[in-house]
Amino acid sequence: SAVISQKPSRDICQRGTSLTIQCQVDSQVTMMFWYRQQPGQSLTLIATANQGSEATYESGFVIDKFPISRPNLTFSTLTVSNMSPEDSSIYLCSVDDSHYGYTFGSGTRLTVV
Amino acid sequence: GDSVTQMEGPVTLSEEAFLTINCTYTATGYPSLFWYVQYPGEGLQLLLKATKADDKGSNKGFEATYRKETTSFHLEKGSVQVSDSAVYFCALRMVDYKLSFGAGTTVTVRA
C-alpha cells in the first residue's frame, strides 16, 4: 500500500493566521482527498485534489478558506486560512490506493487559540 | 445519496467478550465497503474491506461480510483485547470514488 507522509503532525495557531498542511505520497496517485475530523466527530470530506486541475470542493467548503494545491501526482497541500477556533480539528489527507483501498496520512491536529 | 449508518456508541466490553458493531448502507449499485480503525491519538488505518456481495473481509481477528440482501456490513470479533480499544468507522466508496463515513463507534475494552 501507499505510504503518506503528512506534516505538521500538530500545531497551535493564532486566530486570523493561516496554516499549510503537506502530504507526500511514495507513489503516483490520481486522486487525493482532504478530510476534516472535528473533535469527537466522524470524517467530513473537504475536497478532492486532482493533478493539473482545480480542486473540487464539497458543500460547505470554499476555496478561499481551504485553498489546495496539487502540483504533481505525489504531493498536495491544504491551507486553512484566516483561522478561527472553530477550525480546530484534525485534518487528514487520503489517497485512493487502487486494490488496497484508501490510505490515510497520520493527520494534523490543529488548535486555534 | 450513498451513505452508511453505523451503530452509535460508546461500547464498553470486558476482555475476551464478543464484539459486534452494526453497519448498514444505502447505495445505488454495489459499492465497496470498508472498516477503518482509529487508535487514540493516531490516524485512520484500514481494518478490512469487501468489494462485492458475500465477500468476507478479515484482519486481526475481525470479520465483516458484505450482505446485499440486508445491505449490511457488520463488524465482529470473537474475543476482544484491551488493545482493541479504539474508534471504528464503517465507510462506503461512492461512484465518484469518494468515501462516505459512518459516525464512528468508540469501543473500550476493560481488563
- Quick one: pLDDT at residue A69? 94
Q: Which residues of A touch B102 (CB under 8 A)?
A: 42
For chain B, say whether A42 makes contact (Cβ under 8 Å): yes
Higher-pLDDT residue of B33 and B2 is: B33
**Strands A10-13 vs A108-112: parallel, antiparallel or unpaired:** parallel
Q: Which of B97, B102, B103 is facing A31, going by the closest CB pair?
A: B97
Q: What is the DSSP letter of B49?
A: E
Across B34-42, average pLDDT: 92
Let me know: does A6 contact A93? Beta carbons within 8 Å: yes
Per-residue cell: B90 = 464503517
Q: Does A105 touch chain B (CB under 8 A)?
A: yes
| Mean pLDDT of all residues belonging to chain B | 94
B81-108: pLDDT as tens digits: 999 999 999 999 987 888 999 999 999 9
CB < 8 Å from A in window 14-73 of B: 32, 34, 36, 42-46, 49
Length in residues, chain A: 113
Side chain identity at residue B24, one-letter code = T
* Distances A75 to A7, A71, B105 between C-alpha atoms, Å: 12, 7, 31
- Whether residue A89 lies within 8 A of chain B, CB to CB, comes out as no
DSSP-derived secondary structure letter, A58 = P
- Classify residue A86 as exposed, middle or buried by CB count within 10 Å of its CB (0-12, 13-18, 19+): exposed
Q: Do B34 and A101 touch (CB under 8 A)?
A: yes
Span between the terminal Cα atoms of chain B, in Å: 41
Distance (Å, rounded) from C-alpha B105 to C-alpha B98? 21
The four Cα atoms A29, A32, A37, A41 give a dihedral, to 10 degrees, of -80
Backbone angles phi, psi at B108, to 5 degrees: -120, 125
The stretch A77-92 carries a mean pLDDT of 97
Q: Searching chain B, which residue's CA lies closest to the CA of residue A49?
A: B98
- Report which DSSP code applies to B103: -
Residue B14's H or E segment, with its range, is strand B11-14
Provide the pLDDT confidence category of residue A101 given band limits of 50, 70 and 90: confident
Contact status, residue A109 vs residue A12, Cβ threshold 8 Å: no
Mutate to test the interface with B, among A95, A100, A104 (most CBs of B within 10 A): A104
- Average pLDDT of span A36-49: 93
